[in-house]
Structure 1
Amino acid sequence: MIEKIAKEIIKHFPRDHKEKDPFRVLIATVLSQRTRDENTEKAANKLFRIYRSPRELAKARPENLYDLIKESGMYRQKAERIVEISKIIIEKYEGKVPNTLEELLKLPGVGRKTANIVLWVGFKKPALAVDTHVHRISNRLGWVKTKTPEETEKELKKLLPEELWGPINGSMVEFGRRICRPVNPKCEECFLREHCKFYNERY
């Protein structure tokens, strides 16, 4: 049943990642931390119009990026991380983004969510990115009973086949923004309410 519901979420809330280049996916995901998609897209577009490769970004000074990525928020910290990540990719990985979770997690500012998005979107590897939406919705539906996104990732991997790991993140994010919101979820509009632990306990 969980697999069937996951497929319905993916069907109703499809999300296509336009950018596939691993480096650009990585940097855009760093920019996306604690900000909205539209702000991430604006900042990433401005940044990549000027700096087109890790080599160019590795030579930049963080303050050169401030105005370009300001809309993403926390721009000083993000600028430092982006330059540092670019330097490491040039010096340690010969200009190519590493394609394993272990190596990605060694990069500054890269956590499991970011690393898993890069693996799935940039490398088409089975990877399950769990952010606040995925964590919240999985618990609300009653799929898992977990306290942290990392625990949720571990449990969902047991419940879902590999081919759904990648797509479920983007679809749950959309579902979480439009229907299963953090505050005042639109339960009456939700096509999953009959299968939802939160709804059945609440109503």
Structure 2
Amino acid sequence: MMKDTACRIFSVLLNQYIREDTNLNFLEFDNPFQILIMTILSAQTTDRTVNSVKGRLFEAYPDPHSMADAEISKIEEIIRPTGFYRAKSKNIRGASEMLVREYDGVVPDSMEELIKLPGVGRKTANIVLNHAYGIDAGIAVDTHVKRVSYRLGMTDNTDPDKIERDLTALYPQEVWGKMNFLLISHGRAVCDAKKPACERCCIKDYCRYYSNNNFFG
């Protein structure tokens, strides 16, 4: 895809999904520690489910020190609705232990340091950096970003790291965070995995999937 086409897509999606009062955060967090833990929990589940366990989880374990000292079974009980709760419990306690041991309980503000934490890859690190610190280090690639960017023709890759490289090459760094929000929003509202609503898509004229499937009228 050419950069000018990518920029037109950004402009249309921006007008469609962002207003002055739009909250660009899908997860409800109060500090960097919370967004780190909640993003780890968000794998293979919905943001609504993660938001639903926030209160109980952080009332019990409000900081890395208390989370690091928590019993795994107690964490598992709270986060069970998010799925894969055994692995996630191990990761969030392990990440908390490392924060206490290596970073004085402070969530790092660099990609290099964040991805050292258990359960944290580039997607999670990108979300934490953007949401907690306002740093656009890359574009977080989740299932929506992967699907929508591929259908549009922004990438021919399926590996998240390669997709991220393709997307960041198309857009200036200052819009990377917004582009993540826009692609997710469009994937949820219109570009469904099983049945995309192409007839009401605001960017169908730029879409490879729409063109290849001969949707007319």
Please report the TM-score for the alignment, with normalisation by the length of structure 2.
0.89
Distance 1:154 1:20 in 2: 30
User: Who is 2:49 aligned against?
Assistant: 39
Deviations 1:23-62 (A, max 9, x none): 1110000010100111111122221122111111111011
Deviations 1:80-124 (A, max 9, x none): 111111110001001101111111111111111001101111111
Does the 8 Å CA contact 1:27/1:82 hold for their aligned counterparts?
A: yes
User: Who is 1:107 aligned against?
Assistant: 117
Distance 1:116 1:138 in 2: 17
Deviations 1:157-197 (A, max 9, x none): 11001121012212211211221011111101111111111
Distance 1:113 1:169 in 2: 10
User: Who is 1:90 aligned against?
Assistant: 100
- Cα distance change, pair 26–139 in 1 and its aligned pair in 2 (3 A): same
User: Who is 2:208 aligned against?
Assistant: 197
Matched, 1:10 2:18: no
- List 4+ stretches of structure 1 deviating above 4 A: none
User: Who is 1:24 aligned against?
Assistant: 34
Matched, 1:51 2:61: yes
Q: Which amino acid aligns with 1:196?
A: C
Distance 1:172 1:46 in 2: 31
Distance 2:64 2:114 in 1: 15
Does the 8 Å CA contact 1:179/1:186 hold for their aligned counterparts?
A: yes
Runs of 5+ consecutive residues of structure 1 not aligned to the other structure: none
Distance 2:39 2:156 in 1: 27
Counting aligned pairs with the same residue, the percent is 36
Distance 2:94 2:82 in 1: 18
Other structure's SS at 2:123 match: helix
User: Who is 1:116 aligned against?
Assistant: 126
Matched, 1:147 2:158: yes
Other structure's SS at 1:110 match: coil
1:128-147 equivalent positions in 2, closer than 5 A? 128-147=139-158
Q: Which amino acid aligns with 2:31?
A: D
Does the 8 Å CA contact 2:12/2:202 hold for their aligned counterparts?
A: no
Matched, 1:188 2:207: no
Other structure's SS at 2:187 match: helix
Distance 1:11 1:63 in 2: 46
CA RMSD of the aligned region, Å? 1.4
State the aligned residue count: 203
Deviates more, 1:17-26 or 1:176-185: 17-26
